[in-house]
Structure 1
Amino acid sequence: MIVFRLVITSLAFLLLPIWCYVITPFGSNAARAAPNVSTVVFELFTRFNPTQAQILELDNLQALEQSFYDPSLPTKFFAHGLHDGPGAAYSSRDAYLQREDCNFIAIDWSVLASGIEYPIIVERDVPRAAVHTGQFIDFLVGNTGAPFESIHLMGHSLGAHVVGGAGAAVTLGRIPRITGLDPAGPLFSLNETDTRLDTTDGDFVDIIHTNGGTLLHDQQGFLPPIGHVDFYPNGGQFQPGCTANHIKSTGQERGACDHARVVTYFVESINSDVGFRAVECETQVDFEAGLCADNVAVLMGDPTPSSARGIYYLATNDKAPFALG
């Protein structure tokens, strides 16, 4: 049963002025015909080029064949969020390449994500980037023989909806795992699953919430559970360490700090010795009261098993290393 707090927040999302904007469903003709989608490119990094990107593009077979892409290795995709760029993926890139030999692809949709009108980006540009990415995955698989089973899509904020739409847009197979890192909440409806990341986009969808709520409270993420498994570190709205002193020293706004912290948690989880242990629980209040200590526990982040289901809570440190085990 979804807890009262999540229900109230869900209603808040439904009451946002979504009806003012027609959100284009992923894969629609309007999204495919939109101009400038060719600005979405894909930065490939491997252990042969760990910091120097090789640029891959949809239907550019020559660039793909001349790259270090190895279809026998796991392939990780990461999509950045609003007003960001591929550099937002580099900490994840470094952690993965440190741990294993893999293909890491940073989805650069920064031209589409840099607009000043958020509703237009949600309505028009997220679906364009999503469909283009799905088509690129088909192009990659079709020309290299890479198995879909080796693909993991990750996205932060609006990027979570980009990779969700990409999972819905692929035609040659199914994406086995999609990770949503504090998926953007404003102007996305709980009921309109065609326009946001949801459980139909991949075989396993795991979500980490760090700044869920509404813009009225400077919260940028989606609070209600939308994955096969949803994690709520520190309650999923405000993160320890995002204090007034931190905000003053970094120049970040409060919500931006909480919203970005999810990427830091995920990156740490890739190589953590102790991990982010989370327990299944109905509410943060029950978790803090110790009522869920004996419940099912799983690790949040990269090690999350695909069998995980439900809502999980955990606490973190207020500075790195954040994982408490």
Structure 2
Amino acid sequence: MHSMHMHQCYYEACNADPDCLQYCPIIPLHGRSVETNLEKTKWTDVEFKLFTSSNIDSATDFNYNFQFEDLQHSEFVETAKVKFIIHGFFTAYSENNWLGSMKNKLIKDKPFNYNVFVVNWPKFAITLNYLAAKHDTETVGNALAEFIFKLCNFSSLKSSDIHLIGHSLGAHIAGFAGNALKKKGLIIGRITGLDPAGPLFKYDDGTRRLDRFDAAYVENLHTGIGDFIGNGYGFAKPLGDIDFFINGGFAQPDCSLWNLPRNILKYGWVEGFANTYACNHMFAYVLMLEDTEQFSENCQLVGFQCNNYRDYRGGKCNDCGSNGKACAVISLFGEDDRNSGQGYVEPQSSYASIKVYLDTLKKPPYCAQNYAIEIKLAKNSEVPNGKFELTLEGTYFGSARKFVINKDFSIEQDDRKFSCLVQLDKNLGKVTKATIRLYYGIYDLAVFFSKPKIIIDHLNVKYLSNIDKRIRNAWSASMCAEESKTNELINFVPCTYER
């Protein structure tokens, strides 16, 4: 270990030296100020596996009662930040599962930036008794808090440079650890909950599960909300400063019970059932593991604050607000990149959780080029019904792009406006032309005899898939209608003035 030093008060001497008690980790449990022997006995069953750029393939194992010398002789880099990865129910660390993949991504994408600890607790997690595993999340959380407290006291590591990443029950373990450390005066910098577990946590207060006060910044990805088998395993309500509801929080790509036979053939019986029935729940870490280098043309996973998923799908939530806080981007490296995880860089001041929504593509890479389309009718226009076909043309660095979108007209009578969310697999680029073609069904007899007079004031195309306002503005356009001899085909060109 590099440039390690030791505090004047040794951990082992704290019980004998009253002046040293401020450094002695006493983690409260249910109002008690000292841990029981049974609790500490269980702590020894929690492993903390250290990986760095120097030992990416072979872990150095610790437990909660490690000594200064253990850290000193390890690969721990005192100048690097620390990330903890915490698994959930019926899981354990393996180089071949998502824990190994995330460890590798953190170290390989940002060499020498992080010490990565995998919190491995299979003795409690691998059981058919979910109630017991749920109960033990507090035990594991307190063991983690003890470990972090000693880590900070044995090194120059600041708690603000610690990021806890937990999936399912692991998210609540992160919450228990953060809450316990807060009582010792240490505030964890960031917690990321990957679809925090919902079953049996629904009626618990914030001290009995993850909540937004467990770290300086708490974010969550909701992908499989529900109460148990059949309708999801994830917590349905916001738990953090920012809560991402991915594809509404419940319907993820290629997650269907009809996939069970295919998954059994591919993974075997146990993993086949898990990959089928927990598919939505698992998508949280699948999305976090996406290789952003494969995202096309400046695409980022940006969520927008919205009252509900219906409004988001309707294209009504398409602005980051004057202070930029009405949207956020998903990133493992938010604390290092100004353009990602901006809520972490500039913590929210509001006491209310912010719900943001984000839709993905149906297959990897999942980052969609999302656009909000707005069609504004003129005051003297009749209200259309039926369907329309929107053709958008643009150029992306010299490459011509053309996309055709079909939608049902549904005009809001109060503001005479139609809006929707459109997903593309490529960036449209600078919009140069648009065409709207109106058409009606064979049963629209009234339209057959007298077609409504449609006058469109303007068409707005707003690009949503980047946190940088300059990029969003560059790929957005306000389009004005050209004179048209037919009521069914309307051409648009960029407006010469701002709408």
Return the TM-score normalized by structure 2: 0.57
Q: How does 1:36-55 map to 2 (within 5 A)?
A: 36-55=42-61
Distance in structure 2 (CA, Å) of the matches to 1:78 and 1:153:
6
Q: How does 1:78-97 map to 2 (within 5 A)?
A: 78-87=85-94, 88-97=98-107
Give how far 1:41 is off.
1.0
Distance in structure 2 (CA, Å) of the matches to 1:32 and 1:323:
49
Say if 1:210 and 1:261, in contact at 8 Å, map to a contact too: yes
**Partner AA of 2:155 in structure 1:** T
Q: How does 1:288-307 map to 2 (within 5 A)?
A: 288-295=313-320, 296-302=326-332, 303-305=340-342, 306=344, 307=347
- Percent sequence identity is 28
Match of 1:211 in 2: 224
Q: How does 1:57-72 map to 2 (within 5 A)?
A: 57-61=63-67, 62-72=69-79
Match of 2:262 in 1: 249
Establish whether residue 167 from structure 1 lines up as the match of residue 182 from structure 2: no
Say if 2:229 and 2:277, in contact at 8 Å, map to a contact too: no
Distance in structure 2 (CA, Å) of the matches to 1:91 and 1:28:
38
Cα deviations across residues 92-130 of structure 1 (Å, max 9, x unaligned)?
A: 11111112121110001111112321112212x111100
Give how far 1:247 is off.
3.8
Say if 1:141 and 1:148, in contact at 8 Å, map to a contact too: yes
Distance in structure 2 (CA, Å) of the matches to 1:113 and 1:244:
25
**Partner AA of 2:220 in structure 1:** I
Distance in structure 1 (CA, Å) of the matches to 2:186 and 2:167:
23
Distance in structure 2 (CA, Å) of the matches to 1:323 and 1:25:
43
Secondary structure of the structure 2 residue equivalent to 1:91? helix
Match of 2:108 in 1: 98
Give how far 1:29 is off.
5.7
Note closer, same or farther for the CA distance 1:116–1:28 as it changes in structure 2 (3 Å cut): farther
**Partner AA of 1:53 in structure 2:** A
Establish whether residue 261 from structure 1 lines up as the match of residue 283 from structure 2: yes
Distance in structure 2 (CA, Å) of the matches to 1:243 and 1:268:
21
Distance in structure 2 (CA, Å) of the matches to 1:111 and 1:122:
13
Give how far 1:241 is off.
1.5
Match of 1:141 in 2: 152
Cα deviations across residues 121-160 of structure 1 (Å, max 9, x unaligned)?
A: 212x111100000000001111012111211001000000
Say if 2:257 and 2:277, in contact at 8 Å, map to a contact too: no
Give how far 1:272 is off.
6.4
**Partner AA of 1:154 in structure 2:** I
Distance in structure 1 (CA, Å) of the matches to 2:289 and 2:217:
19
Say if 2:43 and 2:64, in contact at 8 Å, map to a contact too: no
RMSD: 2.2
Cα deviations across residues 236-289 of structure 1 (Å, max 9, x unaligned)?
A: 012121134544322245441110110011122776653211111111111111
Say if 1:218 and 1:255, in contact at 8 Å, map to a contact too: no
Larger Rg: 2
Match of 1:17 in 2: none
Q: 1:33 aligns with which of 33, 38, 50?
A: 38
Q: How does 1:96-245 map to 2 (within 5 A)?
A: 96-100=106-110, 101=112, 102-123=114-135, 125-170=136-181, 171-215=184-228, 217-244=230-257
Secondary structure of the structure 2 residue equivalent to 1:185? coil
Cα deviations across residues 154-178 of structure 1 (Å, max 9, x unaligned)?
A: 1000000001111111225110111
Q: Which moved more, 1:241-250 or 1:252-261?
A: 241-250
**Partner AA of 2:341 in structure 1:** T
Note closer, same or farther for the CA distance 1:70–1:294 as it changes in structure 2 (3 Å cut): same
Cα deviations across residues 185-238 of structure 1 (Å, max 9, x unaligned)?
A: 111134511110001111111011000112163310101111111000100012
Establish whether residue 280 from structure 1 lines up as the match of residue 305 from structure 2: yes
Distance in structure 2 (CA, Å) of the matches to 1:322 and 1:131:
36
Note closer, same or farther for the CA distance 1:166–1:270 as it changes in structure 2 (3 Å cut): farther
Match of 1:322 in 2: 366
- Greater RCO (Cα-Cα under 8 Å, separation 6 or more): 1
Give how far 1:65 is off.
1.7
**Partner AA of 1:47 in structure 2:** S
Give how far 1:27 is off.
7.4
In proportion to residue count, which structure has more strand? 2
For structure 1, list consecutive stretches of 5 or more residues without a partner in the other structure. Answer: 1-23
Q: Which moved more, 1:24-33 or 1:302-311?
A: 24-33
Distance in structure 2 (CA, Å) of the matches to 1:272 and 1:172:
41
Say if 2:42 and 2:139, in contact at 8 Å, map to a contact too: no
Distance in structure 1 (CA, Å) of the matches to 2:305 and 2:180:
32
Distance in structure 2 (CA, Å) of the matches to 1:154 and 1:31:
27
